[in-house]
Amino acid sequence: MLTAFFASSLAVLALASPVFDLTSPADILTRSDLISSSCSTSGSASCHNTTSQSNLCCFESPGGLLLQTQFWDTNPSTGPSTSWTIHGLWPDNCDGTYEDTCDPSRAYTGINTLLTNQGASDTLSYMNTYWVDINGQNEQFWEHEWSKHGTCMSTLKTSCLPSGSPKGAEAVAFFQTVVRLFKTLPTYTWLSNAGITPSTSNTYTLSQLTSAIRAGYGHTPALDCTSGALNQISYYYNLKGSIIDGTFVPIDAPSAGSCSSSGIKYTPKSGGGGGGTNPGDLPSKAHIQAISGGSSVGGLLTAGTWSTQTLATMTLSGTSSSFTMVSSKGNCGVSGGALTCGSGVTATTFSAVTSGSNLLLASGGSTSFTSDGTPSGSTVYTVYTGSSHSQDFTLSIVSA
């Protein structure tokens, strides 16, 4: 209902004003994808040119061998129990060597804020579920993936962007493209369609796993194992046009990954006592603990403020993707960027994001919260969403 409302109101806006170059309803729903490379996608694919290409804004080079890498992390369990998670998108050279960390001047920080400010909060929200760090440090993980790999993409050079693009627009396009590609690569489902599901006892041969993926992808991926257990998959592509909006052409992995040919384990993510949390598992009564600088420091009181005093027991209603939170004082809601709970407060719809072994509270898809300081003793700080205040922390939902 909400989506329909936005779609129709934006459609009206588009008709009334030519500011947005909207051409179809699909575009309206992904307004932030409107940055366009103006590159043709009918020329040669990267690594397949027979003459030297001069416009590297429209031809990815030298990193024309692109890998979309995904993790299956079980220790600790990371991300949804029925989905692999994103590692990154890497531009290898056509011979398999690679360059990295190509432009430190564009090693952006604050990816969270960048995506939000440039209208890509839908991408951010998806990343908070499917592009998660094993230690809960999503922001640092995203910054690393962008600066190490994204800054090496020739088609994402700042000079390739439409004039007037805001600072960091090419990084926003990078994250959007990775999410767009990942959505076409449902590894868990492809394996499961072949009867291959996580198990503490079964093992699989490499050819069983590869055939299952080939049935969905049409090409051979590279599979990597850790201690004999499946841990990573890489899907290979060449690219026609730009990373921003080009056509990814699937290809076979040029070499096999590290898994052996048989006896491969595919272990469940949240097997008993592993500390993993399924996204569907939202406790109905919870304490909200703050995690700051890697350690737990107090949490939320009944008014929604941050303190090291006795934490409130919150009642959570809904599912992990959409729930409300109520303390003994009343509804919890975000107003003017500040979180409060009380009798006159309008309830905000929150979501919960699995990160490492934690289930994190998210507002507007973001798990970032800030305050003006770190509480101790009887001090109490107001909790703000986003990263506008000095002290960063996340809020972990712990069953009460």
* Cα Rg of the chain, angstroms: 22
Q: How far is CA 173 from the centre of its chain?
A: 13
Per CB under 6 A, 238 contacts ligand NAG = no
Out of 60, 87, 139, 143, pick the active-site residue: 87
Out of 60, 139, 145, 170, pick the active-site residue: 145
Q: Please say if 149 is a catalytic residue.
A: yes
Distances (CA, A) of 321 to 32, 125, 128, 223, 324: 22, 10, 11, 31, 10
The single residue among 30, 32, 41, 53 that binds ligand NAG, judged by CB under 6 A, is 53
Contact 258, 84 (CB under 8 A): no
Question: Residue 106 gets which letter from DSSP?
Answer: G
Report the nearest approach of ligand NAG to the CB of residue 165 (Å): 24
Which of these ranges, 5-13, 43-51, 105-113, 379-387, lies near ligand NAG under the rule CB under 6 A?
Answer: 43-51
The two tokens of residue 256 are 């096999």
Q: Please say if 389 is a catalytic residue.
A: no
Rounded Cα distance, 194 and 10, in Å: 42
Residues binding ligand NAG: number (CB under 6 A): 6
Report the nearest approach of ligand NAG to the CB of residue 239 (Å): 13
Interface map 5-24 toward ligand NAG (x if CB under 6 A): --------------------
Rounded Cα distance, 160 and 56, in Å: 9
Per CB under 6 A, 51 contacts ligand NAG = yes
Q: Please say if 219 is a catalytic residue.
A: no
Rounded Cα distance, 348 and 351, in Å: 10
The two tokens of residue 305 are 């403020």
Q: Decide whether 59 or 130 has the Cβ nearer to ligand NAG.
A: 59
Report the nearest approach of ligand NAG to the CB of residue 37 (Å): 17
Q: Where are the alpha helices (DSSP H) in 131-168?
A: 138-148
Per CB under 6 A, 93 contacts ligand NAG = no
Q: Where are the alpha helices (DSSP H) in 20-137?
A: 25-29, 111-117, 121-130
Q: Decide whether 24 or 51 has the Cβ nearer to ligand NAG.
A: 51
The single residue among 3, 50, 227, 378 that binds ligand NAG, judged by CB under 6 A, is 50
Which of these ranges, 46-54, 119-127, 251-259, 280-288, lies near ligand NAG under the rule CB under 6 A?
Answer: 46-54
Contact positions vs ligand NAG (CB under 6 A) = 49-53, 61
